[in-house]
Chains A and B, each alone.
Chain A
Amino acid sequence: MRERPLGRSRFSQRLDRLTPLLMITPSVILIAIFVYVFIGYTGYVSLTKWYGVVPDYTWAGLSQYEQLFQLERFQADISNTIRFTFLFLIASIGIGFAAAVLLDQKLRGTIFFQNVFLFPLAISFVVTGTIWRWLFNPNQGLNLLFGALHLDFLKSGWLIDTRTALYSLVIAATWQMSGFCMAMFLAGLRSVPDDLREAARVDGATEFRVYQFVILPLLRPIILSAIIILGHISLKIFDLVFVMTFGGPGYSTDMPGLYMFIATFRQNLYARGAAIATVLLLMVAVLIVPYLIWNLREEPER
C-alpha cells in the first residue's frame, strides 16, 4: 500500500524534471536546424566555388575571402559600416539620453513628448528611407526650407554627394532610433531612487555631478543594452540603404548587407554572398559575444 503513492510521486518527480525539457525540445530542435545548421551551411558554401544557380560544392578554401577583401566595393563596405555604426550609436544614444533627461524633469506635457519621440520607432526603415529621400532631395525638402529661412550655409548635396551621403543616412537612422534610446533611458532614470539623488545633493553635489557620479553609473547596463541593440541593427542595415541610395553615389553608402543580396541574387555569386554573410556574422559576434559573457557573469549576483 505504501508502494503505490511512492511510485506515483517518483513518476511525478521525474515528470516534473522532464516537462520543461519536453517543452523546450521542439524549439531547441527547430532553432538548431533553422539557425545553427544554416549558419554552418552558409559557412560551408563560403568555402566553395558556387557560381551560378546550381549548387557547386567544389572546395575553394579561403579564396572567396581573399577575393572579397581585395574588392574595392567590399573594402568600402567595411569602412562604411564601421563609420555608420559608430556615428549612429553616438548620435542615437546621445540624443536619446538628452531627451530622456529633459523629459525626466517632471514638467508638464512629458507624456505627450515621450510619445512624439517614440513614434518614429513604429515606422519601418523603408518608410523612413522614402520620406528622408524626399527631404534630402537637393532641389526640394530641407534645402528648400533652409533657403526660405535664409540659412543657405546649411544647404548641402545630402545624398548626391559622396562626402555627405553616409551622414545623411545616419541622420535618417538616428531620427528613427533615438526615440527608442530615449524610452530605454527614461525607464532607467525613473528606476534611480530619489533618495540617492537627494543624498548626493545634500552632500553638495551640483546637478551635473549627480548625473556624472550617481546616475550614469547606474545606467551602465542600459547604455550597454542600447549599444548591443542598435549596433546589431546598424551592422545588418539593408532596407534603409536599399530605399535611400542603393549604395550610391559610387560606393559611398554601400553596406555588406546590400552587397550580400546583390552578389547572391543578382550576380549569382552564391559563394561570395555566403562569404559576406559570414563576415557579417563575425562582425555582429564581435559586438554581442562580450555582452553575453558579461551578462552571464552578472547573472548570479542578482
Chain B
Amino acid sequence: MQRTGVAAGSLLAGASLLEFLEACGTTTTTNTSGKLTGNLEIFSWWTAGGEADGLNEMFKIYAQKYADVKIKNAAVAGGAGTNAKAVLATRMQGGKPPDSFQVHAGQELISTWVKASKMEPITNIWKDAGWDSVIPKDLKDIVSSNGDVWSVPVNVHRGNAIWASTKVMSLAGLTESPATYSDFIKLLDKAKSLGISAPLALGSKGNWQIAMLFENGVLASGGPDYYKTLFSGKGSFTDSKVKEALTTMKTLFDYVNNDHPTLDWDGAAQRVTAGTSLATIMGDWAKGYFTSLNLSPGKDFIGAPSPGTKGNYVIVCDTFGLPKGAPDRDNAVAWIKVAGSQEGQAAFNPKKGSIPARTDVAKSLFDPVAQSFMDDFKAAKLVPSSAHGSATPEAFATGLNDEMGQFVQKRDVNTTANNLQKLADQFLK
C-alpha cells in the first residue's frame, strides 16, 4: 500500500479509499464520494501517427467521465514495442507498475505476466460490463487462463492480409487478389513478364515480417485447427504441411526485392505505392500507411485476406490489463471499462486502423476494407499470431524470427523445419 501514497501524496482520501477497496477484495468502482481523483498512468508503445491519435481519443473519453483524474501518458517509442517491453519488465520487476499497460493478447500476457502472478484478474469487470455478448469467445479465450480473464481487448488487427496496387493489378488484368498461392504465384509470374522485377514487396529488417509469411503459409496449408495445434506445441514442425508452407515461401522469395533485409514493412508498402511491386503480405496496419498518403482503399489499393486464408482471421490484438499493485487501482479499473466500452472502441479503432474487438460498433465509422474485415471477423475462425507474441511465448517467437532470417538466406526447408522443432521442444512444451 505504500505505493498508493507515493503516487498521490496530496490525495490521502483517494489512497485510503483504495485501501478500503483492496481490503474488501472487490472490483467495484462505484465510489462512495462518487468521483475518481488522483492519477492514471497508461503505459504503451503508441507514440506516433494513428496509434497515438487513437489513444488520445480514448484519453478524451476518460477525461470527460473522470475530469478530476490526471492522465499520464507513459508511452515508450521505438522498436515495435521492444523498447517499451524492456522498460515495462524493469518497472514491473522493480515493483513500480503503471496503472494499466498495453499488452498483446495471448502468450505475451499469459505466459509472461499472468504466470509470473503480476496481474490481477478482471473477470468481475468483464462480467459486470456484459462483454461476453459483444466480444467473440475465441478472443476471450486468448486473454483467459485458469477460468479467469486477465485483460480487455481494445482492437483487432488482421495478420493475414495482402495489399496490392490496383494500377499494377489492372496491368495484369485482375481486380481481385488471387485466393490461392498457386494462382498468386501465376500472377507474380505475369507481373514479372510485364517488367516488374520484384513483384512481391518484402521488408524483413528484424525478420518478424518473414515469420508472418510463415504463419500465413501454415494457416493456408493446414487450416486453423492445425495452426493452433502446431503453435501450442502439440504438433510437429517437421510435418509435411509445415514443409509445404516453407516450400511456398521459398518460391515466393524468388519474387521479392533483394534489399529486403534493410527495409521494414513500411518500406515494402512504399514499393507497392510506387508501383515497383505488385503486392505485399502484411498486417492491416499497412492500410494506415496507404491512407496516410491519401490513397483510398478499393480505388488505389486492394486489401484482402492473404492467399488461402479466407474465412480465417490471424489476430494481433492489443489489450489493457490490471497489474497487481497498480498505484491508482480505481482509476485503472475505470480505464479498463472505457477501453472495453463501445464508445471507447469506436473512438480508438478508426484512428488506429484496426477493427474493434467488440462486434457491436457501427460499421459506418470505418473504411471499406475495415468494413469487410469486420464482417469476416464475425464469421471467421480466429487464430492468434505467433509473430506478434500471441500464439507462442516470446522466447519461441523471437527464435522463430531468427530462424526465418536464416531461411530467407539459406532457403533450406528441411534444416529450417528441424530447427523450428528444436525450438518448439525447448519453449512450447
Interface size on A, residues (CB 8 A): 32
**A52 and B116 contacting across the interface, CB-CB below 8 Å:** yes
| Partner-A contacts on B (CB < 8 A) | 82, 85-86, 89, 92-93, 111-113, 115-118, 204-207, 258-262, 393-395, 398-399, 402, 405-406, 408-410, 419
**B261 and A248 contacting across the interface, CB-CB below 8 Å:** yes
**B262 and A245 contacting across the interface, CB-CB below 8 Å:** yes
**B262 and A268 contacting across the interface, CB-CB below 8 Å:** no
Beyond A160-B258, A266-B394, A268-B89, whether A52 also contacts B399 by CB under 8 A is no
Tell me whether A188 is interfacial, beta carbon within 8 Å: no
A-B contact pairs, 26 of them (CB 8 A): A53-B112, A54-B116, A54-B118, A72-B419, A73-B402, A136-B262, A139-B259, A157-B258, A159-B261, A160-B258, A160-B259, A162-B409, A165-B261, A248-B204, A248-B207, A248-B405, A249-B409, A251-B406, A252-B409, A265-B82, A265-B89, A266-B85, A266-B394, A266-B398, A267-B395, A267-B398
**A138 and B258 contacting across the interface, CB-CB below 8 Å:** yes
How many Å lie between the Cα of A159 and that of B261 in the bound state? 8
For residue B393, which residues in chain A have a CB less than 8 angstroms away from its CB?
268
Picked from B89, B258, B406, B419, the residue with its CB within 8 Å of the CB of A53 is B89
- Interface residues in A236-285 by Cβ distance below 8 A to B read 245-252, 261-262, 265-269
Whose C-beta in chain A lies nearest to the C-beta of B262? A159
| Partner-B contacts on A (CB < 8 A) | 51-55, 72-73, 133, 136-139, 157, 159-160, 162, 165, 245-252, 261-262, 265-269
For residue A266, which residues in chain B have a CB less than 8 angstroms away from its CB?
82, 85-86, 394, 398
**A267 and B258 contacting across the interface, CB-CB below 8 Å:** no
How many Å lie between the Cα of A249 and that of B262 in the bound state? 8
**B85 and A265 contacting across the interface, CB-CB below 8 Å:** yes
How many Å lie between the Cα of A58 and that of B118 in the bound state? 20
How many Å lie between the Cα of A268 and that of B398 in the bound state? 10
For residue A133, which residues in chain B have a CB less than 8 angstroms away from its CB?
262
For residue B409, which residues in chain A have a CB less than 8 angstroms away from its CB?
162, 249-250, 252
For residue B92, which residues in chain A have a CB less than 8 angstroms away from its CB?
53
For residue A73, which residues in chain B have a CB less than 8 angstroms away from its CB?
402
Interchain residue pairs A-B with the least CB separation, the first 9 = A265-B86, A249-B261, A250-B409, A267-B395, A54-B116, A248-B261, A267-B398, A53-B116, A138-B259
How many Å lie between the Cα of A267 and that of B89 in the bound state? 11
**B405 and A251 contacting across the interface, CB-CB below 8 Å:** yes
